[in-house]
Structure 1
Amino acid sequence: DVLIGPGSKELMFLLQLVYYGDLVIPTPSWVSYAPQAHIIGRHVRWVPTAREDHWMLTPQELEAICKKDPQRPRLVILNYPSNPTGRSYTVKDLKALAAVARKNRVVLLSDEIYGELHHHGRHVSIARFYPEGTIISSGLSKWCGAGGWRLGVFVFPPALRWLLEAMAVVASETFTSTAAPIQYAAVRAYEGGLEIEEYLWHSRRILRGIGTTIARRLEGAGVIVPRPQGAFYLFPDFENFREELGRRGIRTNEDLCHRLLEETGVALLPGSAFGARSDALTLRLAYVDFDGARALTASHDVPREKPLSQTFLKTYCDAPLSAVERICAWLLR
């Protein structure tokens, strides 16, 4: 049972419109989940996550939320690989979360739009372990590198067909269809084949090389940063520099963002945009400012058994690497 719309964001909005219950969002999380709920008038329950858990929801945290009112209907959003952290869940994590969700009859919205960009191609959906209560959300734009080509996909289990039907009724009054050129592009993308698999393999290889290199450089400078496992984001934490930054008049992640932009020319987003506390010195870093077509072509010339060298990354993906060098130099000046 599949519902297609002009972007997964539109489908998420419709789901919240037809499902009456609390929206449970782990923080940090993507910026549009909560605003959509507020527009509709739904109650949002934020679940703060911890640095030591790499900012991912734990089964214990989900159980604690459900235990307060076991009968209350809840829609819990999981996004992995994560925007803003680039982290993902292990199979063990997913099994444990699925067990808690099943016990408490939670509806899971598993936002897997970056699933095909797991850096080792090992993405596993939680629907494998809780199929009857999981809606899988995906789309065209991220894994295809097709930003602006808005086509979202929701996959429902038979037990939640009533939600699909309710969303389809509202959808018929809010949009007619996804634009025809995008439909043709989606048909080709979802047909798969060797060309698509080659594209994904090299995309993952490049993103893995950039993300790992940047994380190591930040770690070397003293920044706390979980190693990325997918997508193209990092969520560095500058807590180790709090005292020094405080002497510079920087006390919030918004302050830190502004000063980095003004003094290094590097643009990041504050953690508060993703639900983190303002006084937490966390930022989101996206590392896609490079010519993807040129890098993909060059990656084909490097044997598959060899990792991409620093020379390769510097030649074809220099902008994000240089930006991080400027951040590190600014921190340590």
Structure 2
Amino acid sequence: MEHLVNQKVRDLEISGIRKFFNLVSHIDDLISLTIGQPDFPTPEHVKKAGIQAIEDNFTSYTHNAGILELREAACNFVAERYGIHYKPESEVIVTMGASEAIDIAFRTILTEGMEVILPGPIYPGYEPIIRLCGAIPVHVDVTQNQFRFTLEMIKPFINDKTRCIVLPYPSNPTGVSLTEKELQEIASYLQERNIFVLADEIYSELTFDQSHKSIASFLKEKTIVINGLSKSHSMTGWRIGFLFAPENITKHILKVHQYNVSCANSIAQKAALEALTKGIDDALPMKKEYEGRRDYCFDRLHSMGLSVIKPDGAFYFFVKIPSSIPLNSFDFALELVNKSKVAVVPGSAFSEYGEGYFRLSYACSMETLELGLDRIEKYLKK
């Protein structure tokens, strides 16, 4: 019966990140610098709010868009942090993680044959959804521009079929963000064009050298902002994301969300409410720790002679494989596992433009990072 399965689904592959992680996770004494899973626990008071929700029998369906108190808190959060203002009644949807928010956004705005422009390398979670919608992902090679997806990089790829531009900043896998000036230039250019922007800002609370700025500050009427609590509050398994957009867009996205999941988990919504009110600054101590890890990793990688751009957000390094190593990124990562017992993600997992690189996650303890980098250094010296 497999031949009857939707051809678009049959053509998909599982994420290269997960594929490699699953391939090597059984190996003993392996130091894994792969998955972007914060090593901090969910804050205690947030967990207690979830437990209290269960005790209070808050276990029924909620409003499709999420409980109003949480939508109010989410709107207050982005207004206070990023200066963008949305109406909680009609311009925010609480989703099952940022992944569902991306899915329902694309399924609402994309039609067969439309094009979506994305930077490459990029997180692999966008392209499969674009293809399932019958649209075409158009990757732009940003490796020669310090991974910056600027207007000059975008303009040559815009045509009559362009429906959306994806701005995933701070970036997974590079950790790079765009400056306010770069965002303003993109917004100004798109002002008179019928093109959406999908701004995936899930790492917005984890920026180090500059405050996060959203393109929605300059182009709110055409921007769909994706955010959530997975990275900022170490709540990956709670699956709470947020989608912000003008009412004339969210009213249609909400229909797709409703028929997809009905509503986000009611218990997780109560925990999220706690996170965005009493825990509004919970990310700060985590961010400070990540910044220390970033600086340590940068110094170590630089001292090994590796070519790397210092990230200003998220918790990843995207490192160029030395030209003296005659291996593609997958084989390099596999050899690193077999010979040195340390796992990184091959750059090819992040589009064809990630080939020749590997991603290293520093969302793990300093002790793990020290040991993993020691092993990488020993491998390179050999």
TM-score (norm 2): 0.72
Distance in 1, matches of 2:202 and 2:97, equals 11
2:374 aligned with 1:331, yes or no? Answer: no
User: Retained in 1: the 8 A contact 2:340–2:379?
Assistant: yes
Q: Among all aligned residue pairs of Structure 1 and Structure 2, give the percentage whose two residues are the same amino acid.
A: 28
**Which whole-Å CA distance do the structure 1 matches of 2:212 and 2:120 have between them?**
21
**What is the distance in 1 between the residues matched to 2:271 and 2:209?**
25
Supply the AA of the counterpart residue of 2:213: V
Find the counterpart in structure 1 of residue 150 from structure 2: 58
Corresponding position: 1:271 with 2:344:
no
Distance in 1 of aligned mates of 2:235 and 2:94: 17
User: Secondary structure of 2:352's match?
Assistant: coil
SS of residue paired to 1:169: helix
Q: CA deviation at 1:97?
A: 1.9
Is residue 213 of structure 1 aligned with residue 296 of structure 2? yes
Match of 1:201 among 284, 289, 313: 284
Distance across 1 between alignment mates of 2:251 and 2:198: 16
User: Which residue of 337, 340, 353 maps to 1:261?
Assistant: 337
Aligned mate of 2:249, from 163, 184, 193: 163
Q: Which whole-Å CA distance do the structure 2 matches of 1:215 and 1:113 have between them?
A: 23
Kindly indicate whether the alpha-carbon contact (under 8 Å) linking 1:232 and 1:286 is maintained by their aligned counterparts in 2. Answer: yes
Note the aligned Cα RMSD (angstroms).
1.6
Q: For residue 208 of structure 2, what is the aligned residue in structure 1?
A: 119
Letter in 2 for 1:287: Y
Alignment of 1:94-105 (within 5 A): 94-105=183-194
TM-score (norm 1): 0.82
The answer as to whether partners of 2:130 and 2:137 remain within 8 angstroms in 1 is yes
Who is 1:300 aligned against?
none
Query: 2:356 and 2:152 mapped to 1: Cα distance?
Result: 25
Does residue 236 (structure 1) correspond to residue 305 (structure 2)? The answer is no
Aligned partner of 1:41 in structure 2 is 134
User: SS of the counterpart of 2:224?
Assistant: strand
1:178–1:185 distance in 2 versus 1, CA, 3 Å: same
CA–CA separation in structure 1 for the residues paired with 2:257 and 2:210: 33
Return the alpha-carbon distance in structure 1 between the equivalents of residues 319 and 272 of structure 2.
34
Aligned equivalent of 1:283: 358
Describe the SS at the equivalent of 1:207: helix
Listed as ranges, the gaps of 5+ residues in structure 2 are 1-90
Report deviation, 1:36.
Answer: 1.1
* C-alpha contact (below 8 Å) 1:111/1:137 kept by paired residues: yes
Q: Tell me the CA shift for residue 120 of structure 1.
A: 4.5
**Aligned partner letter, 2:381:** L
- Return the alpha-carbon distance in structure 2 between the equivalents of residues 277 and 63 of structure 1: 19
Contact kept, 8 Å, 1:62 with 1:100, in 2: the verdict is no
Encode CA deviations 1:62-94: one digit per residue, 9 max, x unaligned.
11111xx2x334211111111101111111211
Work out which of the residue numbers 217, 221, 225 in structure 2 matches 1:128: 217
For 1:144 and 1:57, the matched residues in 2 are separated by 27
Which structure 1 segments of 5+ residues have no match?
A: 291-316
Shift in Å, 1:276: 3.3
Conserved 8 A contact 2:120-2:143 = no
Which of 73, 95, 99 pairs up with 1:9?
Answer: 99
1:107 corresponds to: 196
Q: CA deviation at 1:274?
A: 0.6
Tell whether the 8 Å contact from 2:348 to 2:356 is kept in structure 1 after alignment. no
Matches within 5 A, 1:63-78: 63-66=155-158, 69=159, 71-78=160-167
- String of CA shifts for 1:172-198, please: whole Å, max 9, x gaps: 21112111210111111111x4x542x
Aligned counterparts of 1:176 and 1:129: Cα–Cα separation in 2: 32
Indicate the structure whose relative CO is greater, using CA pairs within 8 Å and at least 6 residues apart.
2
2:308 aligns with 225
CA distance in 2, matches of 1:108, 1:176: 25
Q: Contact conserved, 1:108 with 1:133, CA < 8 A, in 2?
A: yes
> How do 1:244-259 residues align onto structure 2 when only pairs under 5 Å count?
245-246=325-326, 250=327, 252-259=328-335
Could you tell me how far 1:100 is from its partner in structure 2?
2.4
Q: For 2:135, what is the secondary structure of its paired residue?
A: coil
